[in-house]
Structure 1
Amino acid sequence: MKPLRIGFGLLLAAVMSTAAASAQELQKLSIVIFGKPSLGAFLPPVIKAQKLDEKNGLSIDFEERPPDAYTAQFNSGEFQVGGSAALLTVGLADLRGVKVTYLFNLFDYWGTVVTSRPDIKSVKDLEGKDLAAAKGTTNYVMFDWFARQLGVDTSKLSVVNTATPGLVGYALADRATAVQLWEPAYAALHAKKPDIRTLDLKIQESWQKATGSRSIPYLGVAAHLDWAQKHKDLIPKLYAAYKEAGEWTVAHPDEAAKLIMPKGNDADHKAIANLIRAKERLGMNIRAAADVGKEIKSVYAAGKSIAFLPSMPSDATIYRGPVQ
């Protein structure tokens, strides 16, 4: 019996040693993201629940922040990696002297305007009316561009500026003529008020006419340039974790919805699952920044054309290193 006990003990020690070594091999990474509900917080719970970070040699700590705190803490370098990186915000940071780079895209642009007022038939009808919006967001800036393509004088919109979480409340209470918002807020709103109407922005039509492309890079993962240069080995692992999370989410929409909105009810989960299935509205498009470099520059040009960006950001904002 004694040799058997010794053998079992050695085996157990070996297993524990291997497990400890594996744990030590995981590279710790802290990423700041917007709080729920947001596109930046869409895939992180899937990554953690499915342990896709560990599968790819990482141990990721996702830190949720409201938009203003996110921007301040990412731009200051308190967080070196940001997972709610709106592309125009990255470009603006660069122009203000913050050396950052867009590693890879997660979602293409989609936004809409909703109204309960029967007399509002198009975005043009909003001239001279009040519009609730989160005016400082990239999504609103892109809406401004698309509205102008439809001949809207956006200076005639009376914008009621509110924080992103307040947009659904404005729409539910009909406190403004219309509300500009995006996903996943739209899915949550539609679940609670299915009769609300959307105003067509003709997004794909206008973008293709202006740029020749249907892809509109919008939100992804960015990092400080010096971090990206020092940690080139981690970027493919990070990309793989997000890519696998996206594939799993699309393949398991009902299960993913419960992870994405853990405190939601059945109606909330159904709305998120339907959003995942509604590929155009979700716009998931996980691509290396270098693969959509032309489209990124088109987004910059759109931001510049409406004076959100004072000039074109540097090429360094488009990460050219390997992500796969």
Structure 2
Amino acid sequence: MKKVAFALGLLSAIASTSTPSAQDLPKVSIVVFGAPSLGAFLPPVIKAQKLDEKNGISIKFEERTPDAYTAQFNSGEFQVGGSAALLTVGLADVRGVKVTYLFNLFDFWGAVVTSRPDIKSLKDVEGKDLAAAKGTTNYVMFDWFARQLGVDTAKLSVVNTATPGLVGYALADRATAVQLWEPAYTTLHAKKPGIRTLDLNIPESWKKVSGSTSIPYLGVAAHVSWAEKNKELIPKLYAAYRQAAEWVAANPDEAAKLIAGKGTDDDRKAISELIRANDRLGMNVRTAAEVSKEINAVYAAGKSIAFLPSDPAASTIYQGAMK
């Protein structure tokens, strides 16, 4: 009996030493936008499925508004950002903040919606108020696409608000139009199905200038100094996000419960349908190196509207090993 107890104790000791607890794993603190946002889309899945721990790291996600996110990431308060809009990464670099885009999570998609019957096209919004999160890259990309349609964006009276407030503006019809993206767009349509979407001609305009249909938009970025010191953690981080995206695509209904945990049944149904279609969601987990051509096309777009004063350094596109 003593031998059996000793053997069981030995096995328990071996198991405890061979399987590190979450407290023993390398820790990564990642700042992200609050929900509803693309940056907040995969974190609840990663944590619920323990994909960080399964890949040998422990991630702590910290939510911030877009403006606070940019300030705290660029200052180095957070070394890793999970709502890393590509043009924001490029702008940080040309301003002297050495950061690098590790991998892409979502391609760009944005929309302008209105409830006003007299607004037939985006051109009709000139001289009127547009609610938008002006501090986001989604707005900057919208600016570029609007100009391709001949819209004078300087004539838009932008009412700046945080990302979560955009749905509220649209529901209450507090502005002539609202510029927003997923998953807020789907959440809005679940609550107000009759709202109209103004065409931005995104696929045609982008293919005309880049020759590609992929528009790298939002992913995970890090300060170059952090990336150089933590090369062994980056493939683990990438694997956790990639596996989360794969699980979401394979389990849209279960994923919607995690992503829209505080929402209604209609909200969750809308999110699951969004995942199944993926045309507006644009979930596309790729390493930065794999989409370097498209990243440079996004930089060129940002430079053409004077958002980027110069070309970002090649180091903003991470080239390190991901396996």
Kindly state the Cα deviation for residue 14 of structure 1 after the two structures are TM-superposed.
Answer: 3.0
Give the TM-score taking structure 1 as reference length.
0.96
Superposition map of 1:301-316 within 5 A: 301-316=300-315
CA distance in 2, matches of 1:95, 1:109: 22
Moved over 2 A (4+): 1-19, 21-26
Partner residue, 1:198: 197
The reply to whether residue 287 of structure 1 matches residue 286 of structure 2 is yes
Partner residue, 1:156: 155
Partner residue, 2:214: 215
Contact 1:34–1:65, Cα closer than 8 Å, also in 2: yes
Letter matched to residue 301 of structure 1: A
Match of 2:280, SS state, is: helix
Kindly state the Cα deviation for residue 26 of structure 1 after the two structures are TM-superposed.
Answer: 2.3
Partner residue, 1:224: 223
Match of 2:17, SS state, is: helix
Match of 1:281, SS state, is: coil
Partner residue, 1:53: 52
Letter matched to residue 140 of structure 1: Y
Contact 2:65–2:162, Cα closer than 8 Å, also in 1: no
Kindly state the Cα deviation for residue 23 of structure 1 after the two structures are TM-superposed.
Answer: 5.0
The reply to whether residue 6 of structure 1 matches residue 18 of structure 2 is no
Kindly state the Cα deviation for residue 296 of structure 1 after the two structures are TM-superposed.
Answer: 0.7
User: Which segment is superposed worse, 74-83 or 97-106?
Assistant: 74-83
Kindly state the Cα deviation for residue 265 of structure 1 after the two structures are TM-superposed.
Answer: 1.6
Compared CA separation, residues 17 and 228, structure 1 to 2 (3 A) = closer
Match of 2:134, SS state, is: coil
CA offsets, 1:279-318, max 9 Å, x none? 1100011111111111111111111111111111111111
CA offsets, 1:73-97, max 9 Å, x none? 1111111111000011101111111
Kindly state the Cα deviation for residue 107 of structure 1 after the two structures are TM-superposed.
Answer: 0.3
Contact 1:25–1:57, Cα closer than 8 Å, also in 2: no
Partner residue, 2:171: 172
Letter matched to residue 291 of structure 1: E
The reply to whether residue 266 of structure 1 matches residue 265 of structure 2 is yes
Superposition map of 1:1-324 within 5 A: 1-19=1-19, 21=20, 23=22, 26-324=25-323
Contact 1:115–1:171, Cα closer than 8 Å, also in 2: yes
Kindly state the Cα deviation for residue 15 of structure 1 after the two structures are TM-superposed.
Answer: 2.9
Compared CA separation, residues 171 and 27, structure 1 to 2 (3 A) = same
Kindly state the Cα deviation for residue 25 of structure 1 after the two structures are TM-superposed.
Answer: 5.7
Give the TM-score taking structure 2 as reference length.
0.96
CA offsets, 1:234-288, max 9 Å, x none? 1111111101100000110010011112111211111111111121100011111
CA distance in 1, matches of 2:23, 2:173: 53
Contact 2:67–2:135, Cα closer than 8 Å, also in 1: no
CA distance in 1, matches of 2:262, 2:21: 33
Contact 2:249–2:276, Cα closer than 8 Å, also in 1: yes
Letter matched to residue 165 of structure 1: P
Match of 2:39, SS state, is: coil
Compared CA separation, residues 211 and 16, structure 1 to 2 (3 A) = closer
Aligned residues: 323
CA offsets, 1:2-51, max 9 Å, x none? 333333333333333334x4656622111111111110010011111111
Letter matched to residue 119 of structure 1: D
Stretches of structure 2 lacking an aligned partner (at least 5 in a row): none
Match of 2:83, SS state, is: strand
CA distance in 1, matches of 2:204, 2:189: 24
Q: Identity of aligned pairs, percent?
A: 78
Kindly state the Cα deviation for residue 196 of structure 1 after the two structures are TM-superposed.
Answer: 0.4
